[in-house]
Chains A and B, each alone.
Chain A
Amino acid sequence: MTRVIVFLGFLIFGSTGGEIAITRGMKATGEPERLRPRELLRFLRKALGNGWFWAGIPLMALSFYSLLLLLSWAPISFVIPASALSYVVGTFGAKYILGEEVSVARWTGVVLVCAGVALVALG
């Protein structure tokens, strides 16, 4: 059980930390003017040259391998509800690290989604 809790921590820390770093990188990259293959490729090339993007990749990899290990040890009906905590952790990160405005409506929505995901996964 200890290893499941430790790797759940890695999963939540890795996914939220990685996504926050990638969000910062994408905001610095700027949006593609049109959603066409050539412009998406140019967008991707520019994003790949951003340091924040590369800071996010190892954290996402940590989260990915933690998920693979957790799925091999525990039922999905435990792994997914427990990892739903990352919605709340991620919203804190969005507010305090990315400086996003998280209104009461958005907080309430995030908490409802988090509870909903846990209930759906419990079956």
Chain B
Amino acid sequence: MPTEGRLRVKTLVMVCLMVLCANAGDLLLKRAMLEIGAVQLTEPGLAHAFRLTVTNGTLWIGIFFLCGFMLSYMTVLSWADYSYVMPAGAFGYALLTFFAMIFLHESVSARRWVGVVLICLGMLLVGQTKPRTTAVPGEALA
């Protein structure tokens, strides 16, 4: 049985990996959908959109990152609470704001900064709670 400290550290590492993959995946997906354009909910419209999506390279790279997100998410959920991991995933929004300011020199509005502060405060509060509050019925894999 791991100690709570070890549990916290490995949860943090896995959450960081999860956030990195999820954000890269989402950004690539948005870029791919901008390339494809608005999808029409008609039979030819959906067929056309399907053809465009399966041949779009950006979308596939996005899906690769989202698979990385899924694997790290599944792994962390095997030991930590869902209600502990889920809010931690929101740190990506705060991270993107910092990146936009530092690397892209974008001006960040006061409202956005308030949002970043709220996310960080929320994560600090959730981080104070126990990462696992339920018994794990499955045995650790040998």
* Residue positions of A touching B, CB distance < 8 A: 3, 19-20, 22-23, 26-33, 35, 39-40, 42-44, 46-47, 67-69, 71-73, 76, 80, 87, 90-91, 93-95, 98-103, 105-106, 108-123
Known: A26-B74, A46-B141, A120-B112. 20 other contacts (CB 8 A): A19-B82, A32-B140, A71-B30, A80-B93, A90-B83, A98-B81, A98-B83, A100-B134, A101-B130, A106-B84, A106-B125, A109-B126, A110-B83, A113-B119, A113-B122, A116-B120, A116-B122, A118-B115, A120-B116, A123-B112
Which one of A47, A71, A73, A118 lies within 8 Å of B74 (CB-CB)?
A47
CA distance A72 to B142 in the complex (A): 46
- Cα of A121 to Cα of B136 in the assembled complex, Å: 36
Chain A residues with CB under 8 A of B105: none
Q: List 7 A-B contacts (CB under 8 A).
A: A46-B141, A87-B86, A91-B83, A91-B86, A105-B125, A110-B126, A116-B119
Closest to B115 in A: A119
Beyond A94-B83, A123-B111, whether A23 also contacts B90 by CB under 8 A is no
- Report yes or no: A42 in contact with B141, Cβ–Cβ below 8 A: yes
Q: In the complex, are the beta carbons of A35 and B10 less than 8 A apart? A: yes
Contact A106 B126 (CB under 8 A): yes
| Chain B contact residues: helix, strand, loop or mixed | helix
Assess whether A99 is in contact with B134, with CB atoms less than 8 Å apart: yes
Q: Which residues of A sit under 8 angstroms from B112, Cβ to Cβ? A: 119-120, 122-123
Q: Do B118 and A121 touch (CB < 8 A)? A: no
Q: Is the CB of B79 within 8 A of A31?
A: yes
Is B139 in the interface zone, CB < 8 Å from A? yes
Count contacts on B: residues with CB < 8 A to the other chain: 56
Asked whether, in the complex, the Cβ of B82 is within 8 Å of the Cβ of A113, the reply is: no
- Given the known interface contacts A91-B83, A123-B112, the answer about A112 and B138 at a Cβ–Cβ threshold of 8 Å is no
Q: Which residues of A contact B129 (CB under 8 A)?
A: 103, 105-106, 109
Closest to A81 in B: B115
Q: Give Cα A91–Cα B30 distance, bound, in whole angstroms.
A: 27
